[in-house]
Amino acid sequence: MQANLRVRRFDPEAPEPSARMQDYQIEVPEHFTVLDALIQVREEDDPSLALRCSCRASICGSCAMRVNGQARLACKTRLTAVAPEGETVIIEPMGNQRVVKDLVVDLALFWNKIRAVEPYLQPAGPEPEDEYIASNESMLNLLTPMGCIMCGACVSDCTALEVDENFLGPAALAKAYRFIADPRDGASRERLTTLNEYGGVWDCTRCYMCVEVCPTGVAPMDRIMELRDSVMREIGTTTPGARHIESFARSVARSGWLDETMLAVDSWGRFNLPKLISQAPLGIRALMRGKLPKPWPLHHKRPGAEFVGRIFKRWESNKP
Amino acid sequence: MKYAFYPGCVSRGGTPELYTSTIAIAGKLGIELEEIIGASCTGAGVLQEKGLKLGDTLNARTFAMAERLGLTTILNICSTCQGVMAQANQRLLADADYLAEINKELEPEGLEYTGRVVIKHLAWVIVEEVGLDALKALVTNPLPGLKAAPFYGCYILRPSSALGLDQNPGREQYLERIIEACGAEPVNFPGRLKCCGFPIMLINERNSMKMVADHTISAKEHGADCMVTPCPLCHLNLDGQQPNAAAKAGRKIGVPILHLPQLIGLAMGFSAKELGMHQHIVSTKTIIEKASVRV
Ligand code: SF4
Ligand code: SF4
Ligand code: FES
């Protein structure tokens, strides 16, 4: 079959380096992956095409790139899956990272973030005589984050990183979870304290992009949500993010539905006067257009709200 | 066609125009809506951070209420409610013991969820059940020359495994199809599938405002007259925070943000007032003029 590839090229050594798209039309067998096709281009048509790969079997994590706008492992993506009718396949380097050449990006940002979460065991207390013993069950929830092959796909497409390079990002936070949830680690509290700060767990937008693109099912966002819960238990509700969750729960437990106005006030802090004043123009604009929701105590209860309240109470009392 | 209608908290709070415009077009589309009275908030992904089981219990309660109405499809007008419900349903249906455990919590209210509910967004109902041809037949005021940039946001497409995108790959393009059916022109732009920034608006305002500015500016630079969204939370941020975002970005933006049913309503010839177009923060005047509907 014919494969139509449109590849983003960038040559840093060109007299005036700038990115451009280049089309390749090649004849390939039906079972070819995007990576197979790119390698064929490099071997038969254009030896100047730069790309990174090694295992060709979705193990090493080297070949992540954007295919039709989404980060994927090129070796795990069949051409027929992304271009069933022989459409043009758009191939670009990963996002959120500096392009070195063509499809190769500089992974410094990725590795710096992984390093920042101290990705090694820090046991507490004196060393045991033999090995550290951990029960089978206590290690089961580490299996998902341990599946990470460090490909960088999640970092490429993370919408929070795109606006703020300070965010630790999905891969590093999933890695942090891996150690915090490890029963042999003794530094969980310190780790959670760091993650409670700017750039940590609260800056994730919950956009599901990392869950969608991760080729090994790490689901970094789900790990981040578990970390938020741990932060709230261990450190307390000290941040706007944590207050946001508490206020949300309070209003639904009380009335069955969300009190949007109180949610804003509580998240900023009820006594945070400068913030409240700075947001007044927005409140007035909304009020003038008949869309400022009435806050507690004017926020009315939904019918059956007492049953919703009961569900909350039972859930609280059954919590481990 | 009759549906169990879940308007969500925000269409009853911060974006009343979404509720008004939905009711307006539903009648014409032959969509009969029976509101699930007493349904709680879905948790919006926020209560799910406290605990999945808490959120799943609240949603199972809503599903059971829909079943009690004798209805099996819940129609959502908020992507976030839609996505959160779809994920809850997936977990409840995957594990009979879990469902039984949760049903115990619903007993005092006399409710039981038997697992028959299907969760759909208004956009899906329009394309899959009403049909685009039927929609086109109702377009009495086509909108040629109106360039609309579809802004999907997150929860109507991700995680795809919970949203039936494998069986219905077309769902990734429904907004474009509906915009075309209204006689308008869809505009592709880089922000199409990204996050609007609403979930971190109260947490990291700077980042949230940057997202609003990036997406609205890029839609504008790609020639859009307006953006269209299936999610009122995206609307709260892209419309409500646009003046702030513009001030922070140090430039004018002024891109009107339409709720999906407002766009459809314009093409059906409803007046701007009937669609709540005057309730936006960013003026919709240019769109009302382009659509030449009554003010
Ligand atoms: S869910 Fe959070 S971590 Fe994952 S891509 Fe979105 S913002 Fe980034
Ligand atoms: S979490 Fe998934 S997407 Fe991110 S680096 Fe690891 S394997 Fe790749
Ligand atoms: S080449 Fe190793 S993962 Fe693709």
A62 close to ligand 3 (CB < 6 Angstrom): yes
Residue nearest to atom 8 of ligand 2 (CA): A151
Is A173 close to ligand 2, i.e. is its CB under 6 Å away? Answer: no
A150 lines ligand 3 (CB under 6 A): no
Q: Which residues contact A305 (CB under 8 A, 6 or more apart)?
A: A254, A255, A256, B40
For B36, nearest residue in chain A (alpha carbons): A303
**What does the alpha-carbon distance between residue A255 and residue B12 come to, in Å, rounded to a whole number?**
14
- Among B37, B61, B203, select the one facing A244 at the smallest CB separation: B203
Contacts of A225 (CB under 8 A, 6+ apart): A206, B48, B49
DSSP for A79-90 reads: HHHH-TT-PEEE
Which residues in chain A have their CB less than 8 angstroms from residue B203's CB? 202-203, 239-241, 244, 267
pLDDT classification of A283: cutoffs 50, 70, 90: confident
Residue A319's pLDDT is 78
Pair of tokens at residue A311: 């569900």
What is the structure's pLDDT at B221? 97
Choose among B41, B154, B158: nearest Cβ to A252. Answer: B41
B227 phi and psi, to 5 degrees? -115, 155
* pTM of the model as a whole: 0.94
**Residue A201 CA to ligand 1 centre (angstroms):** 10
Q: How confident is the model at residue A83 (pLDDT cuts 50, 70, 90)?
A: very high
How far apart are the C-alpha atoms of A206 and A224, rounded to whole Å? 9
Which residues partner with A22 through β-bridges? Answer: A7
Residue B32's region, left for phi above 0, alpha for psi from -120 to 50, else beta, is beta
Alpha-carbon distance B137 to nearest alpha carbon in chain A (angstroms): 31
Region A217-222 average pLDDT? 96
Q: Which of A179, A221, A178 is nearest to A201 (CA)?
A: A221
Residue ranges of chain B with per-residue pLDDT less than 70 = none
> Do B195 and A160 lie within an 8 Å CB cutoff?
yes
In the block, tokens 């970390």 appear at A227
Q: For testing the chain B interface, which of A85, A154, A205 should be mutated: the one with the most B CBs within 10 Å?
A: A205
Confidence check: pLDDT of A271 > 80? no
Using the predicted structure, report yes or no on whether residue A276 has a pLDDT greater than 80.
no
Question: What does the pLDDT read at residue A281?
Answer: 74
pLDDT of residue A127: 84
Q: 3-class DSSP state for residue A121?
A: coil
Distance from CA of B225 to the nearest CA of A (A): 22
Torsion of CA A198, A203, A70, A42, to 10 degrees: 10
When pLDDT is averaged across residues A181-201 and rounded to a whole number, the result is 95
**Distance of residue A292 Cα from the nearest chain B Cα, in angstroms:** 6
Cβ partners under 8 Å of residue B170, min gap 6: B127, B177
pLDDT at A263: 79
Candidates B203, B209, B214: best to mutate against A (most CBs of A within 10 A) is B203
CA atoms of B80 and A172, how far apart (whole Å): 26
At residue A209 the predicted structure's pLDDT band, cuts being 50, 70 and 90, is: very high
Question: Helix B16-29 to helix B260-267 angle, to the nearest 10 degrees?
Answer: 50
Collapsed DSSP state (helix, strand, coil) of residue A1: coil
Check residues B216 and A127 and name the one with the higher pLDDT: B216
pLDDT score, position A266: 78
Task: Report CB contact under 8 Å: B199, A206.
Answer: yes
SS3 call for B53: helix
The ligand with the least distance to the CA atom of A161 is: 1
Tell me, using a 6 A CB cutoff, whether residue A53 lines ligand 3. Answer: yes
CA–CA gap between residue A65 and residue A89 (Å, rounded): 12
User: Residue A176's pLDDT is what?
Assistant: 98
For A22, the enclosing helix (H) or strand (E) is strand A20-27
pLDDT digits 0-9 by tens, A15-56: 988 999 999 999 999 999 999 999 999 999 999 999 999 999
Distance from Cα A216 to the centre of ligand 2, integer Å: 7
Token representation of residue A251: 């209003």
Structure tokens given for A245 = 């969750």
Does A203 sit within 8 Å of B203, measured CB to CB?
yes
| String of DSSP letters for B147-193 | EEEE---STTTSSGGGTTTTT-GGGGGHHHHHHHHTT-EE---TTTT
Instruction: Find how far residue B35's CA is from the centre of its chain.
Output: 16
Residue A236 backbone dihedrals phi, psi, to 5 degrees: 105, 180
Q: What confidence score (pLDDT) does residue A227 get?
A: 96
Q: From the CA of B80, how far away is ligand 1's center (Å)?
A: 16
Interface A-B, measured as beta-carbon pairs within 8 A, has a size of 157
- What pLDDT score does A22 carry? 97
Query: Among A72, A202, A208, which would you mutate to test the B interface (most chain B Cβ atoms within 10 Å of its Cβ)?
Result: A208
Whether A73 is in the pocket of ligand 3, judged by its Cβ within 6 Å, is yes
What's the pLDDT tens digit per position in A285-312?
Answer: 777 787 777 777 667 788 888 999 999 9
- Alpha carbon distance B29, B22 (integer Å): 10
pLDDT (0 to 100) of residue A289: 80
> What's the whole-number average pLDDT of chain A?
92
Rounded to the nearest angstrom, the minimum Cα separation between B80 and chain A is 11
Query: What pLDDT is recorded for position A265?
Result: 76
**pLDDT at residue B218, rounded to an integer:** 97
Q: What is the pLDDT of residue A251?
A: 86
- Quote the CA–CA distance of A56 and A67 in Å, as a whole number: 16
Q: Which of A89-103, A269-283, B61-75, B220-234 has the lowest mean pLDDT?
A: A269-283
B100/B48 Cα distance (integer angstroms): 20
